[in-house]
Structure 1
Amino acid sequence: MGVEIKIEHLTKSFGRQTIWGDVSFTLPAGEISVMLGPSGTGKSVLLKTLIGLLKPDHGSVMIEGTDIAACSRAELYEIRQLFGVLFQDGAMFGSMSLYDNVAFPLREHTNKGETEIRGIVMEKMELVGLLGAETKLPGEISGGMRKRAGLARALVLDPEVLLIDEPDSGLDPVRTSFINQLFVDLNAQIDATFLIVTHDIHTARTVPDNIGLLYHRHLAMFGPREMLLSSEEPVVRQFLNAQRVGPIGMSEEKDADELAAEVGMDLPPLPPIPLQLEPSNGIPRRSQRRPGEWCRQNGIVPPPGSFTDSISPSAVGV
């Protein structure tokens, strides 16, 4: 079972440069959340802050009653054992086999014998579809396989929180679809709290229970997937629908002339909200909401065509 992470008034700077300020949101226990944002908005910095690799200037990160932004080294070490991390490039040791890479955390952080370690490693490698590849070196396999090997290593200590940094980086759309399905299937099996940092809009629209968007040194919005996918807030609407019209420009913010030129322009309609990915076995995850549930509960009319594969338009208030 995953744990809840409560972030309150978090601020981080490097010298005079503020990365983001007064960030507050809660990662619900056992749910999949995605954090989006233009390049340079501090998404990876946020992951490092959540695991205590970076100290915030202000604010708190509460996990099971402990504020990791202010706790002792010993407390931080204990809390970190709740986490598994999938780094952007897999972060494999190039001279070690996949088996030894996956076994590394068990050998470093537990007193388990090699027989028990082998059982755990093979279980996790089977979970990510890598049985038979355990003797290969990271340089002998594809980028997608390295991602899966990194995921197996992140899982060997049975984490309650899984942090995933740019899982689609370097992957083609087909492999990205496969790894997205793997995340959904894993969440159904281990019930951990997932936070995925990504630029991939398809991932954000179909995988998570919750979406957040970092923009211009603050958190623009965080909430249930359907809330953001039906939002008319300019930054959220523009980013989640990959549109050119809006406040985001090539250098993050558009200048006054660019914004003035867009005055009176018709915004493209919001696209339909797609169905959320389901586990491969067809059994809904514990945290998975019924399609259209958030819209219905909050009196929001979703874009035309939303959820049409599963429920009628009248069921969601169209």
Structure 2
Amino acid sequence: MGVEIRVEGLTKSFGRQVIWQDVSLTLPAGEISVMLGPSGTGKSVFLKTLVGLLRPDRGSITIEGRDVTRLRERELYEVRKLFGVLFQDGALFGSMSLYDNIAFPLREHTRRPESEIRRIVLEKMDMVGLIGAEEKLPGEISGGMRKRAGLARALVLEPEIILFDEPDSGLDPVRVAYLNQLIVDLNAQTGATFLIVTHDIASARQVPDNIGLLFRRELVMFGPRDTLLASGEPVVKQFLHGRMQGPIGMAEEKDAAQVEQELAELDAGEHRGPRGGKGASGEGVSPRLLPSPGIVRPPRWEAIAEREAEVWSREGVKGA
């Protein structure tokens, strides 16, 4: 099962450049969380800090009672065993077959016999739909298959936390849809805590239990999916609905007067438009992805469904 990650007052800078400051949130055990934000807001830096690859300037990251930011290298090595990471490009070794790529962590970090390694590798390859591709090289397969191979490798040590660094980058919309379903299914099957950094709005609206948004060097919001989707916070509305109107500009932040004018015009348009099936944001609500048939839903799903139904009812949303 997954474990909780509690982040308090986290601040990170490179020289004089502050990446983000005073970030506090709790990633619930076993749930899927997504971290959003415009380019350059330090989402990948946040992932690297969680796993101890980067040290923050201030703050704490508590996992199973241990503050990752204060651990010595040997202690940090033990905590890192809780993590599996899917990098943007899959980070596969080009000269190794998919089988050997996926087996690599088991051979490097355990003393299991090859017979057991084979069982585990084939089990994970089956989970991500790669049975039959064992002998292929990374250069011989599609980007989507490389992502799935990287995900299988992240799973072989049975991690309790899995970090996804823009898993949808470089994929077409159809492959992104398949990958999203795979992520939901794997979470239901493993019970691990998932944190996904992504720019894909459709993924952010359909996949997670929780959503966070980094902007202007701070965490604007973090909370349940339904709370963020129904939020009236200008930057949250702008990002989740991919609008030009709002605080986020093409290259830099907009001035306050411009933002105020844009939002006033946008709100006036929303009030003139039809309200059926829309929430506080004035947008239709994307249905949550469910685990595939035959995969048992985690116990939290019933409580989440009831909470979301209450939120959508309160916001006047139908059929969400």
TM-score (norm 1): 0.92
Mapped partners of 1:263, 1:41: distance in 2: 23
Give the distance between the partners of 1:299 and 1:33, measured in 2 at CA. Answer: 20
Inter-CA distance 16–113: structure 2 relative to 1 (3 Å threshold) = same
How far does residue 73 in structure 1 lie from its aligned partner after superposition?
1.1
Instruction: Give the match's secondary structure for 2:212.
Output: strand
Q: Per-residue CA shift, 1:280-316, capped at 9, x if unaligned?
A: 0264323324576335666972353341xxxxxxxxx
Distance 1:289 1:242 in 2: 30
Percent sequence identity over aligned pairs: 65
- What is the alpha-carbon distance in structure 2 between the residues aligned to residue 82 and residue 181 of structure 1? 23
Give the superposed CA RMSD.
Answer: 1.7
Q: How does 1:29-108 map onto structure 2 within 5 Å? A: 29-108=29-108
Question: 2:173 aligns to what?
Answer: 173
User: Which residue in 2 is equivalent to 1:110?
Assistant: 110
Hey, what's the Cα distance between the residues in 2 that align with 1:128 and 1:263? 43
Match of 1:198? Answer: 198
Q: 2-side partners of 1:59 and 1:271: how far apart?
A: 37
For residues 131 and 44 of structure 2, the distance between their equivalents in structure 1, rounded to whole angstroms, comes to 30
Q: Is the 8 A contact 2:128 2:182 kept in 1?
A: yes
Task: Tell me, in whole angstroms, the C-alpha distance in 1 between the residues paired with 2:71 and 2:97.
Answer: 36
Q: Deviations over 1:167-226 (max 9, x none)?
A: 110000000000000001001110000000000000011100000000010000000000
Looking at structure 2, the residues matched to 28 and 88 of structure 1 have their Cα atoms a distance apart, in angstroms, of: 24
Q: Does the 8 Å contact 2:246/2:263 carry over to 1? A: no
Q: Is residue 2:239 matched to residue 1:226?
A: no
Q: Helix, strand or coil for the counterpart of 2:174? A: helix
| Residues 230 and 303 in structure 1, CA contact (< 8 A), matched pair in contact too | no
- Mapped partners of 2:144, 2:311: distance in 1: 39
Match of residue 276 from structure 1: 288
Q: 1:212/1:300 Cα in 2 relative to 1: closer, same or farther (>3 Å)?
A: farther
- Residues 176 and 68 (structure 1 numbering): CA distance in 2 closer, same or farther, change over 3 Å? same
Matches within 5 A, 1:113-192: 113-192=113-192
Once residues 222 and 8 of structure 2 are traced to their aligned partners in structure 1, the CA distance between those partners, rounded to angstroms, is 13
- Match of 1:302? 315
Q: Is the 8 A contact 1:160 1:192 kept in 2?
A: yes
5+ residue gaps in structure 2? Answer: 271-280
SS in 2 for 1:35: strand
Q: Quote how far apart the aligned CAs of 1:258 are.
A: 3.2
TM-score if structure 2 supplies the norm length? 0.92
* 1:64–1:131 CA distance, 2 compared to 1 (3 A): same
The offset of 1:77, in angstroms, is 0.6
Residues 48-76 of structure 1 deviation map (CA, whole Å, 9 limit, x = unaligned): 00000000000000000110111111111
Check 1:263–1:181 CA distance in 2 against 1; reply closer, same or farther (3 A cut): closer
The code of the aligned residue for 1:246 comes to G
CA, structure 1 residues 98+263, in 2 after alignment: closer, same or farther (shift >3 Å)?
A: closer
1: CA distance between counterparts of 2:231 and 2:319?
Answer: 14
Q: What whole-Å deviation, never above 9, does each CA across 1:100-142 have from its counterpart, x for those lacking one? A: 1000000100011111111110110011000000100000000
User: Is 2:293 the partner of 1:288?
Assistant: no
2:214 touches 2:220 (CA, 8 Å); kept in 1?
yes
Deviation at 1:257, TM superposition (A): 5.8
d(CA) in 2 for partners of 1:277 and 1:192? Answer: 17
Q: Is the 8 A contact 2:12 2:57 kept in 1?
A: yes
Quickly say closer, same or farther: Cα 1:114–1:53, change in 2 above 3 A.
same
Unaligned runs of 5+ in 1: 308-318
Retained in 2: the 8 A contact 1:32–1:209? yes
Query: Residue 12 of structure 2 contacts residue 20 of structure 2 at CA under 8 Å; is this kept in 1?
Result: yes
> Which residue pairs with 1:251 in the alignment?
251
Residue identity matched to 1:62: T
When residues 223 and 121 of structure 1 are mapped into structure 2, their CA distance, relative to the original with a 3 A threshold, is same
Of 45-54 and 279-288, deviating more is 279-288
- Mapped to 1, the partners of 2:164 and 2:14 lie a distance apart of 23
- CA contact under 8 A between 2:312 and 2:318: conserved in structure 1? no
> Residue type of the partner of 1:280?
S
Structure 2 vs 1, CA of residues 18 and 118 (structure 1 numbering), >3 Å: closer, same or farther? same
Instruction: Kindly tell me the number of residue pairs found equivalent between the two proteins.
Output: 307
Whole-Å separation in 1 of the counterparts to 2:30 and 2:304: 19
Q: Distance in 1 between matches of 2:47 and 2:29?
A: 17
